[in-house]
Structure 1
Amino acid sequence: MADDNPDYPVDQILTEVRELRAAFDAKIRYDEGREHTVATMAEELDRHRHGAFQAQLRTVLVDLITLYDDLSQMISAPGYPPETADRLLVVRDTVTYVLARQGAEIAISENDSVDRVQHKVVAIVKTHDEGADRRIAERLRPGFRWNDRVLRPEWVNAYRYESPPPQTHPVPEQPHAAESETVLVDSNLLESRSGGVAGEERLDA
């Protein structure tokens, strides 16, 4: 327009340039905002996919741990031929290898103190030893960790302190109790007899 009309005011040209620049800046900001929104949505989608995959993988790992426990019980059970036990041991080692490939490893606590996060107490063993309170009495199944978290706590039996019952002193026997009772009975008999004689004497009187 400015080329067609030589009298076109310079201020109008500057105004149009400013408007074009403002529109251009707004378009850039819009594109940047849209790119940021798209990137954010992509990240959220990736996190959702990763979380869903992790949840599905966790279910599979827990099932493999159950298989590991079943194989361990069968291996330790009496009555299996050595050849069968060896084959079951190979299968259990394979399960352990598959778990390790997915980041799940056996975790057994080094100390004997019961930890609510690392241990699952299956049974309580009563003890009068106060120093053994809340300590592991028996380890039943190993624990497993996955992604630096407890996937399955270690199964244990734990001691629980109970104060010993109060000591009761036996009551001493009284060997003369029967004799005393006999004497009393005899004295009653004598009194009754003497009373009867006196009565007869009074009746005779």
Structure 2
Amino acid sequence: MVKVLGCFEINRAGTLQQLSAELAAIRAERAPDHASAGAGSPPAVAGELIAVADQLDAVLHGPNPADAGQELRRVRERITALLALCEVAPIVDGGELDFMRHEVVSDRPAPHVGLVDHIAETVRPGYRWRHDLLRPQQVVAYVDRIE
């Protein structure tokens, strides 16, 4: 068992993904309503740029990244620059899990106990606009497998 957010305990082996999904709902409730926020909202193009960036990442990090070619890499770099102009920044953390910034989509056994509840790998980067979370970083988490 591990204490999470100082308020309840979970069994690490099978519930990190469930906890991450529940916290995603909490993040959604707390997120500002960007659609009706007017001048205080991220540019409309930011969501589309994030979607295109994800599609490019799937090609660039797929089974044959060499086939993606230099052009796709340049397009990905341009999208990152455009997102920066919109004040949208990627979140690609390492280290300990922060359930308000990270969504656990999978887990794997930790190679040693010191890495339990840490990020093993990033599946998709998160994004923030100014200080608002647009999307959490999707990660694989290290867990302690007690059989």
Q: Give 5+ residue unaligned stretches, structure 2.
A: 1-34
- Compared with structure 1, are the counterparts of its residues 114 and 92 closer, same or farther at alpha carbon in structure 2 (3 Å cutoff)? same
Q: Pick from 70, 85, 105 the counterpart of residue 86 of structure 1.
A: 70
Report how far residue 127 of structure 1 moved: 4.2
Query: Would you tell me which structure has more helix in proportion to its own residues?
Result: 1
Instruction: Tell me the alpha carbon deviations over residues 116-164 of structure 1, each in whole angstroms, 9 at most, x when there is no partner.
Output: 111111102234843322111112222222121222211110012132x
- Aligned pairs for 1:43-122 (under 5 A) are 51-52=37-38, 54=40, 57=43, 60-79=45-64, 84-109=68-93, 111-122=94-105
Which structure ranks higher in relative contact order (CA pairs < 8 Å, sequence separation ≥ 6)? Answer: 2
Aligned-CA RMSD value: 2.7
Residue identity matched to 2:125: P
The size of the alignment, in residue pairs, is 113
TM-score (norm 2): 0.64
Taking only the aligned residue pairs, the percentage that are identical comes to 27
Residues 144 and 151 of structure 1 are in contact (CA less than 8 Å); yes or no, is this contact kept in structure 2? yes
Q: Which residue of 2 aligns with 1:123?
A: 106
Segments ≥4 residues shifted beyond 6 Å: none
TM-score (norm 1): 0.47
How many angstroms apart in 1 are the aligned matches of 2:113 and 2:56? Answer: 37
Report how far residue 53 of structure 1 moved: 5.2
Query: Would you tell me which structure has more strand in proportion to its own residues?
Result: 2
